[in-house]
Copies of this chain bind each other. A is one copy, B any other.
């Protein structure tokens, strides 16, 4: 039996008890985890400094260093996130639906935890606390497989979280850090019967590797090649405001805008108003021929650019003849995350919403709202771009399965 198998078996035992823990017990644990994390702040920062220095020595990119780095404020934010979870309703035991059959059976479909959830993620130690907290609140034991470059930080964070669990009478094996080489990731991905669900969080390469290598069920949190279609009947002021916000407010995230498609009747006016604002925001427009004539400083877009996320202050653009052409472009290039139309024509909005196949379709709103927090879920483990189980922002309910409870009075089937 490997070290991972031992860990997973201990997690299963812990999960069985955790599934039956009531809300008060779990909330007490979340607050104790927050307290312990704050108490460990100096140790966390010291370990994190070692991780950051090692990463800098090996020439890791500054954007990745930034994600790896913790500060007093970030640790406080992680603790606050745990306390916020304590304030949310318990999804476990919620009745999704109930009815009585013609044979007199009372059936209720109730939310239950998955059991053991594995999270595979990159060098962001804040995810360690976030994911552990969301799993705990939803009654799931968490096996946390972080990046080796955040190992020192993760060890201290997990030690603190487990101290919080112990102080609250919850088996500390409900939260475990999974250490070891790549072969351990493979073990985790193929641990059918030990791990109930895997959620990869990170770049496209990580997610693809987990999805194709796993025999354990996976929820994919995917890439967002998000489009905005500016309709002939768009309010161009609204269109400009949404374009700037969706592109530039936080360009590195999956719900940021990547391509704008503009109806040719309004393209001149739209770009005339928008181009200087985009330039001011530091955005480079990559356009088709028609766009290049309308946007000073625009550069030509290659076909490949329409397929990829920039995740930067770059914006692909095309002028289209009509909504059909916009929808056709989106269906060809979309990653199925979030697609937006700006229009005052309600029939066009309804048709766009009906025809576009994506986790979220937005009408006259920035795609940056496609987020568990903005949706009001109170917590988010990621944004699913797959169709199975959960699609779009995933909150606590999406970390549960269900169970049917059927109550009869001695019925038999004829």
How far does the Cβ of A113 sit from chain B's closest Cβ, in whole Å?
9
A405 touches B361 (CB 8 A): yes
Q: Please state if A357 and B241 are interface contacts (CB–CB under 8 Å).
A: no
Per the bound structure, the CA–CA distance linking A358 and B249 in Å amounts to 45
> A249: shortest Cβ distance to chain B, in Å?
6
Asked if A363 contacts B406 (CB within 8 A), the reply is yes
Q: Shortest beta-carbon distance, A303 to chain B, in Å?
A: 18
Contact partner, A374, options B101, B197, B364, Cβ 8 Å: B101
A196 within 8 A of B: yes
Q: How far is the CA of A355 from the CA of B355 in the complex (A)?
A: 44
Interface status of A16 (Cβ within 8 A of chain B)? yes
Tell me if B101 and A411 are in contact (CB < 8 A). no
Q: Report how far A196 CA is from B392 CA in the complex, Å.
A: 16
The reply to whether B391 and A403 contact each other, CB–CB distance below 8 Å, is yes
Contacts of A192 in B (CB 8 A): 211-212
Contacting pair A366 B405 (CB below 8 A): no
27 interchain pairs, CB-CB under 8 A = A16-B357, A20-B354, A101-B375, A107-B375, A115-B387, A197-B387, A212-B215, A241-B410, A241-B412, A244-B412, A245-B413, A358-B403, A361-B404, A362-B406, A362-B407, A362-B408, A363-B405, A364-B410, A365-B408, A365-B411, A365-B412, A366-B412, A369-B411, A370-B404, A387-B401, A391-B403, A392-B404
Please, how many residues of chain A have a CB less than 8 angstroms from a CB on the other chain? 69
**Which residues of chain B come closer than 8 Å to A215, judged between CB atoms?**
211-212
* Closest chain B residue, CB of each to CB of A110: B353
Whether A58 is near chain B, meaning CB under 8 Å from some CB there, is no
Complexed CA–CA distance, A212 and B112 (Å) = 25
**Is the beta-carbon distance between B363 and A102 smaller than 8 angstroms?**
no
The verdict on A29 contacting chain B, using a C-beta distance below 8 Å, is: no
Q: Is the CB of A370 within 8 A of B406?
A: yes
A160 at interface, CB cutoff 8 A: no
Contact A413 B363 (CB under 8 A): no
Chain A residues 306-331 with CB under 8 Å of chain B are 331
A389 on the B face (CB < 8 A)? yes
Closest CB of chain B to A335's CB: distance in Å?
Answer: 11
Question: Which residues on B sit within 8 Å (CB–CB) of A411?
Answer: 364-366, 369
- A115 contacts which chain B residues (CB < 8 A)? 357, 387
Q: Which residue of B lies closest to A392 (CB)?
A: B404
Mask: chain A, 91-108; 1 = CB below 8 Å from B; 0 = not:
000000001011101010
Q: How far is the CA of A353 from the CA of B217 in the complex (A)?
A: 25
Known A105-B365, A355-B20; judge A196-B387 contact (CB<8 A): yes
Whether B245 lies near A412 (C-beta < 8 A) is yes
The interface residues of chain B lying within 8 Å CB-to-CB of A409 are 364-365
Q: Is A388 an interface residue (CB 8 A)?
A: yes
Contact B376 A102 (CB under 8 A): yes
A357-B112, A409-B364 as given contacts; A369 in contact with B242, CB under 8 Å: no
Q: Please list the 10 inter-chain residue pairs (A to B) with the smallest Cβ-Cβ separation, ordered nearest first.
A: A365-B408, A245-B412, A387-B401, A389-B389, A238-B410, A368-B413, A217-B388, A360-B404, A362-B406, A363-B407
> Are B217 and A386 in contact, with the CB atoms below 8 A?
yes
Within the complex, the shortest CB–CB distance from A347 to chain B, in Å, comes to: 14
Asked if A349 is at the interface (CB within 8 A of a chain B CB), the reply is yes
CA distance A112 to B404 in the complex (A): 24
- From B219, B369, B386, B407, contact of A349 by CB (8 A): B407
- A369, B406: Cβ atoms closer than 8 Å: yes
Known: A388-B197, A401-B387. A357 touches B19 (CB 8 A): yes
Note all chain B residues with C-beta closer than 8 A to A401.
387-388, 391
Q: Which of A115, A368, A401 counts the most B-chain CB atoms under 10 A from its CB?
A: A401
